[in-house]
Amino acid sequence: MCKSEAMKSNGNRERVRIFGIDIDVLDFFAVIKVLDEWILSGRKDCPYVVTPNVDHIVKLNKNPTFMEAYQKASLVIADGKPVILAARLLGKPLPGTVPGSDLIPALFEHFNCNQQGLRVFLLGTLPGVLDKATAKIEGTWPHVKVVGTYSPPQGFEYSMTECEYICSTVSDAQPDMLVLGLGAPKQELWISRFADRLPVGVAVCAGATIDFIAGEKSRAPLWMRNCGLEWFYRLLSEPRRLIGRYAYDACIFPRLFLREWISRS
């Protein structure tokens, strides 16, 4: 990568700018190392992680508040092979995808193998799903303790009373890590507003990860993930919910890429 096109941010970490956002040039294991350092350092300023994919980039293009939340994130890691391919074609290669749904279990495994205690709070999805996820986490990774869960009601983000309650509940639980499973852009918008109220080592915007851990939703087979076809598997699994979004993204993302290509020529 051309050094003149790279940015230095957050210490010595390198970032590249595409689609108006700065993405950290880190592979999967480097991300684990960064999060491990944050958690073990004892910091409690709630740095948060976002994972741009095609849908995020399309939403960022038309939502300035979402873009602001991205700009405030401490770690921005690519989730989605189309983003990796676009970066390579634009001359700003990234080392590979770091999906949140792979990152969270890998981080649990890392702390468990090192026999380091990790205190986790799960925010999002449905109460029954949270119970299943908690049982799966503590049964699979004994050194990971779920110290709290909460399933916020519909429209909670518009109620300051509800948001204050969430902040208080998370703070009282004293987690090392907050996993947000609220969906994009809700989870990113919410954490950008309230990070300074949360004494947490790190917060990760993880989408459907809690549902995957609980077994409520199934991941695509590994070969489909490796081929960049996880989106197709999810479409087959939830066609009524996803077909409109994916069709829209498929129309808009190539236009955004072309605009980016032209701006660099």
Q: Distance between CA atoms of 225 and 244, rounded to whole angstroms? A: 22
Cα→Cα distances 67→42, 62, 184, 189, 264, Å = 29, 9, 12, 9, 21
User: How does pLDDT run across 50-61, given as a tens digit for each residue?
Assistant: 999 999 999 999
What b-and-e string marks burial along 38-47, b requiring 16 or more CB atoms within 10 Å of the CB?
bbeeeeeebb
What's the pTM?
0.92
The sheet with strand 177-181 has its strands ordered as 75-76, 48-50, 202-205, 177-181, 118-124, 144-150
Residue 11: the pLDDT is: 52
Q: Are 200 and 46 in contact (CB under 8 A)?
A: yes
Residue 6: the pLDDT is: 37
User: How does pLDDT run across 85-144, given as a tens digit for each residue?
Assistant: 999 999 999 999 999 999 999 999 999 999 889 999 999 999 999 999 999 999 999 999
Q: Is the pLDDT of residue 1 over 60?
A: no
Percent of the chain with pLDDT over 90: 82
